[in-house]
Amino acid sequence: MGKVILGVGVIQLDRRKKTPLHRQLYEGIRRAILESKLERGSALPATRSLAKQLNISRMTVVNAYDQLLAEGYLTAHAGSGTFVNCNLPDDVKMARFSFGSAEEGAAMAPISAGDSVQPKLSARGRRVAATDEGMRPTYKDQPALFSLGIPALDEFPLDVWTKICRDRGRAISIFGLTYQQASGWMPLRQAICEFTKLFRGIKCHPEQVFVTAGIQQAIDLTSRLLLDTGDTVLFEDPGYWRAREALKANGAALLPLPVDANGASIRSCGPPAESAKLIYITPSHQFPLGVTMSIERRIELLDWARRHDTAVIEDDYDSVYSYSQPPIPSLQGLDSSQRTFYMGSLSKLLFPALGMGYLIVPSSLVGAFESAFKIVGRSPSLFMQQVVHDFIAHGHLERHMRRMRKIHEQRHSALIEAIDRFLPDKLQLVGAPAGLHRTARILIDQPDTVLIEKIANIGFKVQALSIDSLTNSPDHNGLVFGFGCGTPKDISAGIRRIAAVF
C-alpha cells in the first residue's frame, strides 16, 4: 500500500489551544484511523517529512507516533517505516466517544439513534431510577427555609470543627492512606457505642456498630441482606418516602402499618402481615406525623415480631431533639430477642453534608454484615471518621446537642406560634414538639400537592404529607415544615407569606 498524504487537510493543529501539539497530532491521526480515513496497513509519512508539512518540530511528530505505536494503532517495521496496524477491526464506531481532547470532546457530535449503543436498564435498575419520579415539585433558586431534615447549620461550631480537622490533618500517617476496615474505624465505633448507650439506651458491643454513609445507605444494605424479591415489609402509613422507595427498589412488597396518636399500631394490621420479613418504624419521632410510639405499642410490636420471626428497622433519625419531655429511649434497648436494626444519622446531629450515620445490627449477623460491607458498603473516609471521633471523644457532640436542643426549640416555638397566628383555621398541627419538623393537616378543601406548588412559587420548600402516604388516605393531606434552618424571625415571616397563598 502506498504512502498516505497526512498533511494539513487531514490533520489540523491549532496553536491557540491548551492541548499540546503532539497530543493534537496524536488525536488527529487516531481519529483518522478510527474513522477509516487512514486505511489499515497504509504507510505514514516519515517523521521529518510530516514535521515539515505541518510546520512543527520533528520531536512533536516522534512523540505522537510513539504514543500511537504504544497503543497499537501503528506498527513500525525496521527500515521500511511506520504503518497503520493491519489487525485493527474495521467496526470501530464504539470508540467514537472516547477520542478527542477535553476541549474537542465537548463539541463532538452525539451518537445517532441508529447507532443505539445506550446500555439498557434492568427491571431492578428501572425500579431504582423511577423512585424520584413525581415526588418533588420543581424548586427555583430559593432559600432553604422549611426544608426538611436540616439542623441549625448557622449555629454549627465551625471553629471547633475546623480545629479538629487541622489537628487531624497534621497528624496524618501512612496508616491513614491505606485501605481501612470496611465496617468503620474501631475507635469511632466504640465512641458511637458509648454515645448511643448513654443517650438512646442502646445495648450493643462496638463490633455491632457499622459506620455508614447515612441512614439511607443503612436501609438499602439492610434490606438487601434481609429481603428477597416479593418479601412483605410492614411500613408505617404515612411513612418516610425515601425509606419506602429504598425498600421497594430492593423488591419489597409493602403493607401499611397504620399510625395514630400513639405511633405505629401492629394490632391494626390484618393476617397478611404475618408473613412480613421486616418492619420499618420511626418510634421516637414518627416521620412524618411526629408522634411518639407509646411503651405499650413498643412492647406489643416487639412481641409480635418475636412471635412471627420478623426483623425490625428502627430509624432513629432525629430523636435527640425533644422539647417537652426527655427523649424516650430506643426500641432496640427494649428488644431482648435481638431482632432490631438500629439506624442513627449524623446529618441531624452534626450536618447533612458530612454524609455519615451508623447502623447497629444484632450480634448474630455481625459477620454477615462485615462481609457485605466489603462488597457493597464501605464506611466513609478515615479522615472524616477520625474527625467525628474526636468531636465525640472531646465532649463536643454532647455540648453541641444540648445547645442545638435549645436553638431548635426556639425555632419550633416560632413555627407553631406563627401557624397559630396566621393560619389558625387552615392548618391543624399534629404530633409532638420534637425533632426538626412539624406536620399540620390541611383543614380547607385544597390538596397538599397544589399548595406546595404555590408555596414553592414564593420560594419556600414545604413537603406534601401525601408524598409519604401508602394508602392515599384523605387523612394524609397536610404540610410538613422543617424548622431547623431558619431563625425564629425568618420562620415567622415565612409562615405569614405562606398564609397568603391559602
Residues that bind ligand PLP (CB under 6 A): 148-149, 214-216, 240, 282, 287, 315, 317, 345, 347, 352, 357
C-alpha distance from residue 454 to each of 139, 196, 450 (Å): 11, 41, 7
Residue, CB closest to ligand PLP: 149
Nearer to ligand PLP, 349 or 365 (CB): 349
Cα distance between residue 30 and residue 37, in whole Å: 10
Is the separation of the CB atoms in 350 and 484 below 8 Å?
no
Nearer to ligand PLP, 100 or 137 (CB): 137
Side chain identity at residue 40, one-letter code: R
Peptide linkage before 288 cis (omega within 30 of 0) = yes
In the complex, the smallest distance separating the C-beta of residue 345 from ligand PLP, rounded to whole angstroms, is 3
In the complex, the smallest distance separating the C-beta of residue 465 from ligand PLP, rounded to whole angstroms, is 13
Nearer to ligand PLP, 32 or 311 (CB): 311
Nearer to ligand PLP, 164 or 215 (CB): 215
C-alpha distance from residue 179 to each of 175, 366, 368, 476 (Å): 9, 20, 20, 47
Nearer to ligand PLP, 28 or 290 (CB): 290
Q: Which residues pair with 311 in a beta bridge?
A: 278
In the complex, the smallest distance separating the C-beta of residue 244 from ligand PLP, rounded to whole angstroms, is 10
Side chain identity at residue 472, one-letter code: N
Nearer to ligand PLP, 65 or 240 (CB): 240
In degrees, rounded to 5, the angle at the alpha carbon of residue 264 between the alpha carbons of residues 261 and 270 is 120
Q: C-alpha cell of 491?
A: 420562620
Nearer to ligand PLP, 216 or 322 (CB): 216
Distance in Å from the first CA to the final CA of the chain:
80
In the complex, the smallest distance separating the C-beta of residue 189 from ligand PLP, rounded to whole angstroms, is 17
In the complex, the smallest distance separating the C-beta of residue 90 from ligand PLP, rounded to whole angstroms, is 50
DSSP 19: S
Cα distance between residue 364 and residue 368, in whole Å: 9
In the complex, the smallest distance separating the C-beta of residue 296 from ligand PLP, rounded to whole angstroms, is 23
Provide Rg for the chain, Cα atoms: 30
In the complex, the smallest distance separating the C-beta of residue 281 from ligand PLP, rounded to whole angstroms, is 10
